[in-house]
């Protein structure tokens, strides 16, 4: 895939990673490779859109040979490789080889809030920034190298709750008073502000269409979980990938919605194979 776009693509694919492009259990994307090749040949960019960090996404993208933009930390930020777009969009900052568009306050803001709350909730929680990589690896089940990539966050701060549920509810309400929109995950409580994958997807589609003075850029979103709902509702074409662990996310829409049968990357390839002929017919 070229690291620069010279013409407006006809469509863009926004894809969740875990359980969608990557198999839930094995993290393999093998089954999706033929469909990825077809998208490359049609010059359709594939934009990973995930809860993962920049460091984690970069590692996965190099395995799949993707080098375009990506949406990370659940839509809190977009990373656009330098030189990918003809012009630098408004409101972006340089960060190494990327332009970063942020939709959320930086992690440091929540670290400050948590430091303040640690007086009221002494020894009742511990946040990522206070843990060693070894401890994060133990709690996440990742190896130390992957735990280091997962800990390299720009926006939200994961917190391990150590006290009772009643105290956790008090903690959550104090966080909300301070402007956070905390999310309760399986292992951690994620302290960040309201942001979602859909909002970030729309920003990128609009920016690219504007830079090429066009409005015909179609968005195709693929996801398997509840954190994909916003992008699945907002995309021109939505694909719900079956998961071996979650029910299909509930959506309000029923138009331009595909429900492939295959799990993970198998369903991903199935959906792309059925969408591609429509695209070449409609837009070319």
CB of 152 to Mg ion, least distance (A): 20
Q: How many helices (H) and strands (E) does the chain have?
A: 9, 13
Of the candidates 74, 69, 137, 136, which has an alpha carbon nearest to the alpha carbon of residue 98?
A: 69
CB of 246 to Mg ion, least distance (A): 8
Confirm or reject binding of residue 18 to Mg ion (CB under 5 A).
yes
CB of 49 to Mg ion, least distance (A): 10
Of the candidates 161, 107, 156, which has an alpha carbon nearest to the alpha carbon of residue 172?
A: 161
> Which CB atom, from 20 or from 127, has the smaller least distance to Mg ion?
20
Confirm or reject binding of residue 23 to Mg ion (CB under 5 A).
no
Binding mask 202-231 for Mg ion (x = CB under 5 A): ----------------------xx------
Helix, strand, or coil (residue 144): helix
Q: How far, in Å, CA of 53 to CA of 73, rounded?
A: 6
Of the candidates 44, 54, 154, 45, which has an alpha carbon nearest to the alpha carbon of residue 106?
A: 154
> Which CB atom, from 19 or from 242, has the smaller least distance to Mg ion?
19
> Which CB atom, from 16 or from 207, has the smaller least distance to Mg ion?
16
- Site for Mg ion, residues 62 to 101, rule: CB under 5 A: none
C-beta neighbour count of 2 within 10 angstroms: 11
Q: How far, in Å, CA of 156 to CA of 190, rounded?
A: 6
- Site for Mg ion, residues 246 to 275, rule: CB under 5 A: none
Question: How many residues touch Mg ion (CB under 5 A)?
Answer: 5
What are the residues binding Mg ion (CB under 5 A)? 16, 18-19, 224-225
């Amino acid at each position: 895939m070229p690291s620069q776009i010279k013409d407006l693509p006809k469509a863009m694919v926004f894809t969740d990673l875990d359980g969608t492009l990557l198999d839930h259990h094995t993290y393999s994307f093998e089954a999706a490779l033929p469909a990825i090749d077809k998208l490359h040949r049609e010059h359709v960019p594939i934009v990973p859109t995930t809860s993962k960090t920049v460091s984690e996404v970069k590692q996965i993208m190099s395995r799949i040979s993707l080098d375009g933009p990506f949406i990370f930390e659940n839509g809190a930020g977009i990373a656009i490789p330098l030189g990918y777009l003809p012009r630098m969009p408004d409101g972006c900052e340089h960060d190494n080889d990327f332009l970063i568009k942020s939709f959320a306050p930086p992690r440091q803001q929540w670290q400050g809030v948590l430091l303040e709350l640690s007086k009221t909730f002494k020894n009742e929680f511990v946040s990522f920034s206070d843990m060693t990589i070894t401890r994060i690896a133990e709690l996440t089940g990742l190896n130390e190298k992957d735990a280091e990539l997962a800990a390299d966050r720009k926006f939200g701060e994961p917190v391990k709750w150590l006290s009772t549920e009643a105290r956790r509810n008090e903690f959550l309400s104090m966080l909300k008073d301070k402007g956070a929109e905390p999310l309760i995950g399986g292992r951690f409580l994620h302290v960040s502000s309201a942001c979602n994958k859909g909002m970030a997807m729309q920003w990128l589609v609009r920016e690219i269409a504007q830079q090429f003075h066009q409005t015909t850029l179609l968005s195709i979103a693929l996801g398997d979980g509840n954190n994909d709902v916003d992008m699945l509702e907002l995309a021109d074409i939505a694909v719900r990938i079956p998961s071996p662990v979650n029910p299909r996310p509930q959506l309000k829409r029923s138009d331009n919605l595909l429900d492939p049968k295959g799990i993970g990357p198998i369903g991903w390839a199935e959906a792309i194979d059925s969408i591609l002929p429509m695209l070449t017919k409609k837009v070319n």
